[in-house]
Structures are given as C-alpha cells and as structure tokens.
Amino acid sequence: MDSMRGLRMSMVEAGTALAFALAGLAAIGDSLRIGTGWGADGPQSGTFPFWIGLILVAASAGTLVQAVRTRAESGLFASWGQLRLVASVLVPTALYVAAIPFTGIYVASATLVAWFMHRLGGFGRARSAAAGLGVAVTCFLVFEIWFLVQLPKGPLETALGY
C-alpha cells in the first residue's frame, strides 16, 4: 500500500506556483526601490525586472488557479517510498556540500563515494573505502597536478603539504 500514498501533485503544484509568485513579487519590490521609470541614461535599472516580475506573478497566478481547479483529479507527485529513496541521495549530498568548506573537496568526496557504495550499493566496508580513496586520488591527480586547477582543500591536504 506504500506505493499508493505520498505527496499529492496538486499540493506541490500549488506550492511551486506560490514560490514563483513570491520570486516575482520580490523582483517587483526591489525594482520599485531602484526605480522603474526613465532616468538620465535611459530606462532605469528596475524597469526590465519590474515587468518580468509582473509577468511572472500573472503567469504563476494562472498556474495556481489551474492547480486548484484540477486538484480533485491530480495524482501523486511521488509516493513516500520514492521520496525516501530521493532523500537517501539528497541528504548525504547536502551534508557533502556542507562539509566541503571544512574538510576540503577530496576528503568529502571520498566519504560520499564510500557512503553511497556501502549504504545504497551494499558493498563491503573495505571495498567502499578503497573506491572512495581511489576516486579522491584520481580527482587530485587530474585537477591539481594535470590541469593545475585549485580545488577547495582542508586540514588533511595542508598536513600533507599542499
């Protein structure tokens, strides 16, 4: 029964339309602050975003109305089971992104690859750790050594002299 229940399409549809409308309103507000009329050097900075924001609000209002009117016949956006799968990828990725400023990209990447393999792929600890290390070292060789691109580094790289 798990596959039959989940987030309703109409809810997400309405929420997205509202978010679009808010973005449009924010643009309108900011444009009014900096001027939407005719300045010394032509149209003021706010003119273009003002009208774009206005169109965005109108279009998202239309989408919202449609979402509300058809809410009865709308299906599922995703079942809870599907959302759990998405979260199993999204949450580690978010932690990965959050960790990069502190650990550098190499350590974080090695951990991410190892975590995915161990938790999602069912690989053993040793193999997962080895693969994570391999990916990190390969990236290091390709970017820092070969292409001379500086990626974010953390305490470990500093300790190793980079």
Partner 1 sequence: MEELGLLMQGFAVVLEPQNLLLMLVGIALGVLIGVLPGLGGANGIAILLPLTFAMPPVSAIIMLSCIYWGALFGGAITSILFNIPGEPWSVATTFDGYPMAQQGKAAEALTAAFTSSFVGAFVAIVMITFIAPVIAGFALRFGPPEFFAVMFLSFASFIGMSKGPALKTVCAMMLGFLLAAVGMDTVTGQLRMTFGSTEMIRGFDFLVAVIGLFGISEILCSIEDGLRFKGERAKIDAKVVLRVWASLPKHWWLALRSSLIGCWMGITPAGATPASFMSYGVARRMAKDGASFGKGRIEGVIAPETAAHAAGTSALLPMLTLGVPGSPTAAVLLGGLIMWGLQPGPMLFVEQKDFVWGLIASMYLGNVVGLLVVLVAVPWFAAILRVPFSIIAAIILVVCAIGAFTVSNAEFDITLMLLFGVVGYVLKKLDYPLAPLVLALVLGDRTEEAFRQSLLISQGSLGVFFSNWLVSTIMAMGFALLLWPVVSWARGLLPGRRIRGPATA
Q: d(Cα 134, Cα 110) in Å, to the nearest integer?
A: 8
**Euclidean distance between CA atoms 47 and 88, whole angstroms:** 44
Alpha-carbon distance of 151 to 108, in angstroms, equals: 12
CB of 96 to partner 1, least distance (A): 7
DSSP strand pairing (6-8 vs 38-39): unpaired
Q: Which 114-153 positions form the footprint of partner 1 (CB under 8 A)?
A: 115-117, 120-123, 131, 135, 139, 143, 147, 149-152
Residue 90 phi/psi, 5-degree rounding, is -70, -45
Residue from 18, 100, 133, 156 that binds partner 1 (CB under 8 A)? 100
Report how far apart, in Å, the C-alpha atoms of 121 and of each of 91, 111, 118 are: 16, 14, 6
Q: Which of 18, 23, 25, 156 binds partner 1 (CB under 8 A)?
A: 23
Among 82, 134, 86, 91, residue whose Cα is nearest residue 113: 134
Q: Does 59 bind partner 1 (CB under 8 A)?
A: yes
Q: Using CB under 8 A, pick the residue from 103, 107, 113, 157 that binds partner 1.
A: 113
Q: How many residues bind partner 1 (CB under 8 A)?
A: 67
Q: Closest Cα partner for 100 from 112, 88, 89, 91?
A: 112
Tell me: does residue 97 bind partner 1 (CB under 8 A): yes
Query: Could you list the residues that contact partner 1 (CB under 8 A)?
Result: 9, 12-13, 16-17, 20, 23-24, 26-27, 30-31, 34, 38-39, 41-49, 52-53, 55-56, 59-60, 62-63, 66, 77-78, 82, 85-86, 88-90, 93-94, 96-97, 100-101, 105, 109, 112-113, 115-117, 120-123, 131, 135, 139, 143, 147, 149-152
